[in-house]
Amino acid sequence: MPCEKCEKKWGKIITPEVWKAGAKSSHSKSKLNENKYLTKGTNRFDPMKKEKMKSCRICKKTLHQKGAHFCSTCAFQKGICMMCGKRITSVKDSRMSLV
């Protein structure tokens, strides 16, 4: 749960780009029978490498959101923004459990 300021930095939407001529999703520039893994090189993102991915500052779980410092579980329980750590909600009188 990011704060309003960090929500602008959050990133891209999940839905794919609408098709139109010249879009990234159009296949006009791709070659026939091209192996993308070999042509792009070795600098591709590998999700299994731990050194590239950050870990949560509280529970040390691997984060999957770019720019985040806390996982969504810890951010919800503490009532803080997952990107900057700013307090969003008061958890004094609330039972912030996931069960």
Q: pLDDT tens digit string along 29-76?
A: 667 777 777 776 666 666 666 566 789 999 999 888 878 899 989 998
Residue 2's closest CA among 74, 58, 66, 75? Answer: 75
Q: Flag whether 38 is in a domain.
A: no
pTM of the model: 0.58
The pair of structure tokens assigned to 13 is 């939407």
Concatenated DSSP letters of 1-17: ---HHHHHHS---SSPP
Provide the number of structural domains found in the chain. Answer: 1
Q: Which domain holds residue 62?
A: 1-9+49-90
